[in-house]
């Protein structure tokens, strides 16, 4: 059996870019993704989850067979609201490499500075 390759564009979440210092004092860059604003949820084990759905969207020019959107309960949003939700990436069931990321969000992320990161 083959494998599936994919890409998730984390910048499609509402986010802020971070610049901070690690334990050694070295500057590092990161991304802060708010949980509630992005409809993520915390599982019983404490992990944070993102429900998504992959649906057929063959685009051979981008080497993708499926597109990824966030999955919601049927009564959470209207069809119009759901149609405005961003694409988060793509999958390639054929397992080839490549593919372009989903289009950038129109709302620019805010830059933040954070010191004393725990890693």
What does the pLDDT look like over 54-79, one tens digit per residue? 888 877 787 888 889 999 888 889 98
Helix (H) or strand (E) holding 83: helix 79-83
pLDDT above 70: percentage of residues in the chain: 78
- Is pTM beyond 0.85? Reply is no
pLDDT value at 51 more than 80: yes
- Got the DSSP string for 4-68? -EEEE-GGGSS-EEEEEE-TTS-EEEEEE--TGGGT-EE-TTS-EE--EEEEEEEEGGGTEEEEE
Per DSSP, the three-state class of 82 is helix
- Answer whether 41's CB lies under 8 Å from 32's CB: no
Q: Phi and psi at residue 9, in whole multiples of 5°?
A: -95, 95
Each residue of 71-112: pLDDT tens digit? 988 888 998 998 888 889 888 887 664 545 444 444 555 666
pLDDT at 70: 92
26 vs 114, residue with greater confidence: 26
**Across the chain, what does the average pLDDT equal?**
81
Measured distance CA(23)–CA(118) in Å, rounded: 7
**Residue length, the chain?**
119
pLDDT above 90: percentage of residues in the chain: 32
- Answer whether 79's CB lies under 8 Å from 115's CB: no
pLDDT at 83: 85
């Amino acid at each position: 059996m083959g494998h599936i390759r994919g890409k998730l564009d984390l910048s499609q979440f509402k986010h802020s870019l971070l610049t901070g210092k690690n334990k050694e004092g070295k500057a590092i860059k990161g991304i802060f993704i708010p949980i509630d604003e992005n409809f993520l949820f915390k599982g019983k084990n404490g992990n944070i989850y993102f429900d998504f759905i992959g649906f057929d969207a063959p685009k051979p020019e981008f080497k993708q067979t499926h597109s990824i959107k966030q999955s919601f309960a049927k009564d959470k949003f209207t069809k119009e609201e759901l149609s405005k939700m961003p694409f988060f990436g793509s999958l390639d069931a054929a397992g080839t490499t490549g593919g372009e990321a989903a289009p950038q969000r129109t709302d620019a992320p805010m830059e933040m500075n954070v010191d004393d990161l725990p890693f």
